[in-house]
Amino acid sequence: MAKQRKLLNRLTKYFVLSTALPILAIIILSTGLLERYYTRQLLTLMDSYVDSTAENISMYIGNLEQVILLPYFDDEVISLLSQYSRQDDVSFVEQTIFENAFGNLISSIRYISNNFYSTLIVHNDDVIYSSSNFTQSKPLDDHDWRTEDWYQEALEANGNIVYVPPHVTDYYAHSDDKTKISLVCTIRNLVTMTPYAVIKIDILPSSFASFFENLDFDVPFSAYISDTEDNLIFSTSSDGFMEDENGQLGLERVNENLVNHIQHDIKDTPYTLHILLDKTTMMKRTVAVYAIGIGLYLIAFMTALLLNRRLTKRISEPITAMRQVLSEVEKGNFDVSYESHKGWELEELGSSLNHAIGDLRDLIEKNYIAKLAEEKAENKALLSQLQPHFLFNTLNTLIALIYEGKYKELENGLYSLSDLLRYVLRKDNLVPLSDELTFIKSYLLLQKDRFGDRLDYQVSVSGDIQTMLVPRLLIQPFVENAVIHGMEPGKRKCSIQVTAEEVDGRMKITISDDGRGFDMEKTDLMASIGISNSLDRIRILDPGASVDITSSPGNGCQVVIDTKEVLSNENPDC
């Protein structure tokens, strides 16, 4: 039951990792992209609106500036202004003529536009023209106009228009507290540049309201116009955004982290148009979109998870049952079988498993004994091929001693050969490592008698592995090849070393020589019967054993045999 639950949980985990998490990532990513697209579109809309509104305001102010230039388009008005500049006193008739002439000049603009609070033309300390759409009050007669800042600024501007920031006029007989902004300029002789008078146009900041009437960004916003000195010219807000308790725009509270701020200079004016959008509302809407998306995802996820658990249960239970059956088969119990569940997806697989178990049981009963006999015969054949091959090579060595007249060495060799034959003809196929190395010493002694000083050898063993068992005649074919192929064809000396040691719980036997070596790419190692038999026998004893042979021309050869330690005769047929 625990294994079934473990498999079910694992399948559920795979479902979440492969399906649920990617879908969740897609939802979050798509929602984020949607929010960014929405914000980008809104900011683009704002940019377009700010551009067009700034252009309209620029045109509106340009029309106001045209009023200041109107006197230059009427010769009678200019002539009267020139007359004012040439005399200190002007008669009532001349004053009346000028007021009518200039009044007629601006009357169409004054009454159609209805944007002017008042218009003043001042010559020295006299008001030579005054009109207003909002008050019938007349300017004060004894007012010192030359002390007004706007008057002095107009004179210093050398004919350029001066924009006066928001202020309250106090030079009317019945002044009000309305805030105005003004355009001031001198009217001059275009030849001598002598100033005739100063013209001042007052307008109410509320005249800009018409440019913001249809403004709607679907989020709280504030729009305002400021000048180069950061004076607030006009402001409007939706839902009281950024306004204080007095309804005034609190620019000191503007936080770029809480608002999107877009600004645009109004062409040919000292004014700048600003739009502030509430980021908090935009973020709340983004959170709402995320919440809706994640909520829908959770509903879909829970539904899919329940269906997945139901389906994976129909898969995990049969698999768990099959694993239990296979576990019994591994233990050698072939009487178990899988109980099918009608209508379940893996019913056919369970039936196939039962057939496979039955076929395996029959196959083992029929072929197991015959297979063991066949393997034993093959192993015996390996050893029978090895013994004549070794004896033939050893006799060739003794015959060579006869030809050389080394009878004492021949006698010692015959005794050694007798010991060797006695070792070869032993019936046990696994021998202690110490016996195998003693045999190798006797073999190399025979070869030493033949080659004399040309051959040096050393056989050593380290650790407590001398009692470990190895296949009999395992090392001899490699030592024999070192003598025959490494030293015998030439006249060079050759040194052969055989070492045995224990490394990480395994037995490592190394046979190395400094003979002529060979090209491994051009040599078929398996063509040697002795080597191929040694490889087969060591792998019968230990399927994980390895025999590593390395050589190159002129650099000798090294054979490393790596096998497990054998403490008893585990496989007498190797």
pLDDT value at 391 more than 70 = no
Confidence grade of residue 386 (pLDDT, cut at 50, 70, 90): very low
- pLDDT, mean of residues 490-508: 88
pLDDT value at 385 more than 50 = no
pLDDT of residue 511: 94
Looking at the DSSP assignment, which residues form a beta bridge with residue 499?
A: 460, 510
* Beta-sheet pairing, 494-503 with 455-461: parallel
What residues have CB less than 8 Å from 46, skipping those under 6 apart?
A: 217, 260, 262, 275, 277
pLDDT value at 466 more than 70 = yes
- pLDDT, mean of residues 456-467: 86
Confidence grade of residue 332 (pLDDT, cut at 50, 70, 90): confident
pLDDT of residue 8: 59
Give the amino acid at 457: Y
Mean pLDDT highest for which of 26-40, 175-189, 519-533?
175-189
The pLDDT > 70 percentage for the chain reads 77
Higher pLDDT, 530 or 201: 201
CA atoms of 263 and 49, how far apart (whole Å): 11
- pLDDT, mean of residues 156-168: 90
CA atoms of 51 and 93, how far apart (whole Å): 49
pLDDT of residue 382: 46
pLDDT of residue 257: 65
pLDDT value at 2 more than 70 = no
Instruction: For 329-373, give the DSSP string.
Output: HHTT--S--PPP-TT-TTHHHHHHHHHHHHHHHHHHHHHHHHHHH
3-state helix, strand, coil split of the chain in percent (to 5) is: 55, 20, 25
pLDDT of residue 528: 65
**CA-only gyration radius of the chain, Å:** 57
CA atoms of 338 and 487, how far apart (whole Å): 65
pLDDT in tens, 36-55: 776 677 677 777 888 888 89
pLDDT value at 557 more than 80 = yes
The answer to whether residues 397 and 447 touch, using CB atoms and an 8 Å cutoff, is yes
pLDDT value at 558 more than 90 = yes
CA atoms of 247 and 379, how far apart (whole Å): 107
Mean of the per-residue pLDDT values of the chain: 77
pLDDT in tens, 406-428: 767 677 777 777 777 777 777 77
pLDDT value at 256 more than 70 = no
Higher pLDDT, 263 or 570: 263
Q: What CATH code is assigned to 65-207?
A: 3.30.450.20
The answer to whether residues 231 and 251 touch, using CB atoms and an 8 Å cutoff, is no
Confidence grade of residue 255 (pLDDT, cut at 50, 70, 90): low
pLDDT of residue 163: 93
pLDDT of residue 88: 59
pLDDT value at 527 more than 90 = no
The answer to whether residues 232 and 166 touch, using CB atoms and an 8 Å cutoff, is yes
Q: At what angle do helices 21-69 and 92-113 cross, to 10 degrees?
A: 160
The answer to whether residues 497 and 515 touch, using CB atoms and an 8 Å cutoff, is no
pLDDT of residue 510: 94
Q: At what angle do helices 92-113 and 75-86 cross, to 10 degrees?
A: 140
CA angle 530, 531, 536 (to 5 degrees): 100
| Structural domain spans, the chain | 65-207, 213-280, 369-564
Q: Which CATH superfamily is domain 369-564 in?
A: Histidine kinase-like ATPase, C-terminal domain (3.30.565.10)
C-beta neighbour count of 431 within 10 angstroms: 19
* Beta-sheet pairing, 180-188 with 259-265: unpaired
What backbone phi and psi angles, to 5 degrees, belong to 499? Answer: -130, 150
pLDDT of residue 457: 92
pLDDT of residue 497: 95
Q: Convert 182-210 to b/e letters by CB count within 10 Å (16 or more is b).
A: bbbbbbbeeeeeebbbbbbbbbbbebbee
Q: Cα dist. 275→142, 216, 217, 501 in Å?
A: 44, 11, 10, 87
pLDDT value at 156 more than 80 = yes
pLDDT of residue 496: 93
pLDDT in tens, 64-82: 888 888 888 878 788 878 8
